[in-house]
Amino acid sequence: MPSALILIADGTEEMEFTITYDTLVRAGVDCKSAFVHNDEFVTPPAAKGSRGIKIVPDVYFEPADSGPDKFDALVVPGGAKGAETISQNSAVQKLVRDYLAEGKLVGMICAGSLTALTSGLPKQPLTSHPSVIAQLQDEFIYSEDSVVVSNNLITSRGPGKRTIDPNTPFAKALASGTAFPFAFKMVELLCGPEKRQEVHGPMVFPAGTPW
Amino acid sequence: MPSALILIADGTEEMEFTITYDTLVRAGVDCKSAFVHNDEFVTPPAAKGSRGIKIVPDVYFEPADSGPDKFDALVVPGGAKGAETISQNSAVQKLVRDYLAEGKLVGMICAGSLTALTSGLPKQPLTSHPSVIAQLQDEFIYSEDSVVVSNNLITSRGPGKRTIDPNTPFAKALASGTAFPFAFKMVELLCGPEKRQEVHGPMVFPAGTPW
């Protein structure tokens, strides 16, 4: 059974986290959420999402238990504040490099893609939420696709238009529009295209849904 | 500011809950989640979703604090076990009738639509997850649309094909494919079509997404 470690922090976009975790579980992936935190523990121990939903992590993030010897994939969701906490964590940065060096998958969505930058990954195709384009576009081969696969690094947007002014409230409202296609791509790469179809079918999206 | 009470239970489909709550918050709706439970409290107090994500409710469900004098909308998410708990709760059933009698909105998605039946609502257009069609199709004017608006009762499917054999694992895998259009319909009815567009824009879905 493939496995995935999905990071979460205060400020994580709860739809991006939940859609990814839930869809991977449907595909039979053994998912574990790990709470990356800066401050003292809260009681009860829950991460407060960008829209206020409080999610209890499966574990607290512990680098020694989070390596590519333990999981087949590492996922960094978006949400501005959550992505900042996760992307600035030096243990997470090392894990990102370790996972890719070991041929394991790393997924980043929305502002989570900042972690590619902070981890010092080499220049390669990548996408992100438009609000963080300025930090990423010179360091990576920036794409406007909903989901970008660059070897074992999978990134996704949230919103889809690069032309959004990153200083507008429009762009600052972090989005989750590509969370489903991102989750399905992770399923496809971890479990194969047949499993993707098997999971996708029963969720039957409205006619014309482009994923 | 419009307000919404979103019910949650052990076994609630966490994507349906999260997408609805998060999208309504983006529209400025004051959301509160209330834990409907059968057994003793768990510690820490969290509802365990259908795929294992543990969500801390804002409050425990208390009928006296949940009426149409307190909120503009009541939402029942799906997930087989969660929908069973919620739909069988007599206080919830009374609230559903009270909300509709007071001209407030009631939203039900997936197996959550069973609550229309248990609340004794009159025959009217409705949809649901295919796995519960057999219980609903004679009592309601069953529709295969992704989202059905019948006066102030808004229902949604999850999956979209009535022809699915309800006895197959395919149908039993409760789905969330229509959670976004359901959430946007709730935003439109609570906050107006302009707000729906305002919230939809920054979440920019991939080109061709039919909602």
Map residue A186 onto helix, strand or coil. helix
Average pLDDT over residues B50-63: 96
Averaged pLDDT score across all residues of chain A: 89
Query: pLDDT tens digits for A121-174?
Result: 999 999 998 889 999 999 999 998 899 999 999 999 864 333 444 454 444 444
Residue holding tokens 């790990």? A34
d(CA B72, CA A72): 45
Query: pLDDT tens digits for B151-189?
Result: 999 999 864 333 444 444 444 434 568 999 999 999 999
Burial class of residue B23 (count of CB atoms within 10 Å of its CB; 0-12, 13-18, 19+): buried
Please give the pLDDT value at position A177: 81
Burial class of residue B8 (count of CB atoms within 10 Å of its CB; 0-12, 13-18, 19+): buried
CB pairs under 8 A between A and B: 154
Statement: residue A56 has pLDDT above 90? yes
Nearest residue to B72 via CA among B168, B158, B3: B3
Query: pLDDT tens digits for B81-109?
Result: 999 999 999 999 999 999 999 999 999 99
Q: Which amino acid is at B122?
A: P
Please give the pLDDT value at position A207: 80
Contact B46, A56 (CB under 8 A): yes
Bridge partners of B3?
B30
pTM of the model: 0.91
Q: Which tops the pLDDT comparison, A157 or A188?
A: A188
d(CA A205, CA A151): 28
Statement: residue B66 has pLDDT above 60? yes
- Res. A42 pLDDT band, cuts 50 70 90: low
CB-based contact A202 B173, cutoff 8 Å: yes
Burial class of residue A83 (count of CB atoms within 10 Å of its CB; 0-12, 13-18, 19+): buried
**Which residues from B are below 8 Å from A183, CB to CB?**
none
CB-based contact B44 A46, cutoff 8 Å: yes
- What letter does residue A132 receive in the DSSP assignment? G
Q: Which amino acid is at A39?
A: D
Please give the pLDDT value at position B37: 87
Whether omega for the bond prior to residue B202 falls within 30 degrees of 0, making it cis, is no
CB-based contact A210 B211, cutoff 8 Å: no
Averaged pLDDT score across all residues of chain B: 89
The answer to whether residue B31 is catalytic is no
The answer to whether residue B129 is catalytic is yes
CB-based contact A18 B21, cutoff 8 Å: no
Interface confidence, given as ipTM, is: 0.90
Please give the pLDDT value at position A144: 85
Please give the pLDDT value at position A41: 63
Catalytic residue among B13, B14, B129, B191: B129
A126 phi and psi angles, rounded to 5 deg: -165, 150
d(CA B57, CA B39): 16
